Amino acid sequence: MLAYLLLRWSGVGVFVLLWEMAPRLGWIDPYFVPAFSDVVREIVHLLLDDYLGIHIVVSVWRAVVGLSIACLVGVPLGLALGRLYPRLGDALGPLLRVLSQVNPFSLLPVFVLFFGIGEVAKLSVVGWVSLWPVLFYTMTATRNVDPVQEKSAASMGISLPELLLKVILPAALPTIFVGIRIGATITFYILVASEMLGASAGLGFLVHNAAMNYQIPRIYAGATFIVIFGYLLNRFLIRLEGALFAWREDTALPSAASALAPVSGWRPGRGTAWTGAAALVAIVVFGGIEVRNVNREAASVAPGAHSRHFGTPVDGGGN
């Protein structure tokens, strides 16, 4: 097991070693590419300063709330369009495809116009982007439920709400979860981008602000941290998927989970579900308070002390 792990991570080790050696030995200008240890020191420094923590909380809060909105809208809507009103789903299908193809970045200004430059604009962009995979996967999944299961349930006189809740939703859940996982990945992408385009806190802002102030080790620190964070998020979701849907034999979808997640002994039960739900609520509530504080602080900075991050200064106050 240890040998396997060593072999598996030796590539990463070599990569880190190269990153450490190249600037130290002068192969690359260390000013542009700081050594790996310097970057790690910068990350630790940011963590100890309690500077990184705020940005993580803000970004995680935005991602969680955005994704939750997408799930709350996408899953019921997908169920309705895929199952209850399939004709309507057929009719609306092309429109939804067209809308999903609209580039979210070109929509960002429109959202800013409608919702201001505050949190709602960012949340709506994140929600918009992650809505489509959730919606489409739900629609497809609820349509492709094994007819035998459905007919068996119907022949035992199941009512429609019960059919939806006890047969169709559980059968469709693995596929829906794939949609949610894809949505989460895209969410994280878009979140960083939208924080770069206009925010006063968050991981994207951290990198962008470092870039604007030419703090090169901090750019690398922020970028590395985002990489690690995204990787961990993805691993966690794949693991969760594998643990939640270990009972499934095969799905219509080629799933990363079946290939990647080892069959672990851990099975989430009722306790895990409650813990997870409590954690989600805690993130939303406490993150929300934190985000409000951060925004209030950013808004209350005296004029002149706070520089704009983008474009030319409005009132020529740049110099």
Partner 1 sequence: MATIRNQFFARHLDKLSILLFFVVWQLLPKLGGIVETFITPPTVVFATLVDLFREGDLLSHVGVSLYRSAAGFAGAAAVAIPLGFLLGGNFRTFQRLVGPVLRFLGQVNPFSLFPLFILLFGIGEFSKVAMIFWVCIWPILFNTINAVKGIDPLLVKSARSLGTGVVTLFFKVILPDASPGIFHGLKMGCSTAFFMLIAAEMIGASAGLGWMVWNAQINFQMPQLFAATVLISTLGLTLNFSLGLLESRLVGWKQKSFSGNN
Name the 3-class secondary structure at 44: helix
Residue 137 in contact with partner 1, rule: CB under 8 A = yes
Size of the site for partner 1 (CB under 8 A): 65
Backbone CA torsion sign across 32, 37, 43, 46? negative
* Contact range with partner 1 by CB under 8 A, out of 69-77, 208-216, 241-249, 294-302: 208-216
Kindly list the distances between the CA atom of residue 30 and the CA atoms of 34, 35, 38, 39, 119, in Å, as whole numbers in the listed order: 5, 7, 10, 11, 38
How remote is the C-alpha of 113 from its chain's centroid? 24
Nearer to partner 1, 66 or 222 (CB): 222
Window 25-54: residues binding partner 1 (CB under 8 A)? 32-33
Lookup result for tokens 């808004």: 299
Lookup result for tokens 């009719």: 91
Q: Which of 90, 146, 162, 297 binds partner 1 (CB under 8 A)?
A: 90
Q: HSE, CB side, 13 Å, CA atoms: give it for residue 249.
A: 0
Give the amino acid at 226.
I
* Contact range with partner 1 by CB under 8 A, out of 45-53, 147-155, 164-172, 201-209: 201-209
Residue 274 in contact with partner 1, rule: CB under 8 A = no
Residue 113 in contact with partner 1, rule: CB under 8 A = yes
Residue 148 in contact with partner 1, rule: CB under 8 A = no
Least distance from C-beta 186 to partner 1, angstroms?
10
Nearer to partner 1, 166 or 308 (CB): 308
Least distance from C-beta 27 to partner 1, angstroms?
14
Backbone CA torsion sign across 269, 271, 274, 280? negative
Cα angle for residues 301, 304, 309 (degrees, 5° grid): 80
Q: How many CB atoms lie within 10 A of CB 250?
A: 9
Q: Which of 27, 51, 85, 105 binds partner 1 (CB under 8 A)?
A: 105
Q: Which of 197, 201, 257, 294 binds partner 1 (CB under 8 A)?
A: 197
Contact 111, 121 (CB under 8 A): yes
Nearer to partner 1, 143 or 154 (CB): 143
Least distance from C-beta 280 to partner 1, angstroms?
23
Kindly list the distances between the CA atom of residue 139 and the CA atoms of 26, 69, 132, 168, 297, in Å, as whole numbers in the listed order: 55, 17, 10, 11, 43
Residue 222 in contact with partner 1, rule: CB under 8 A = yes
| Burial (CB count within 10 angstroms: exposed 0-12, middle 13-18, buried 19+), residue 209 | buried
Residue 103 in contact with partner 1, rule: CB under 8 A = yes
Residues that bind partner 1 (CB under 8 A): 7-12, 14-15, 32-33, 90-95, 98, 100-103, 105-110, 112-114, 132-133, 136-137, 140, 175, 178-179, 182, 188-189, 192-193, 196-197, 203-204, 207-208, 210-211, 216, 219-220, 222-223, 226-227, 230-231, 234, 252-254, 311
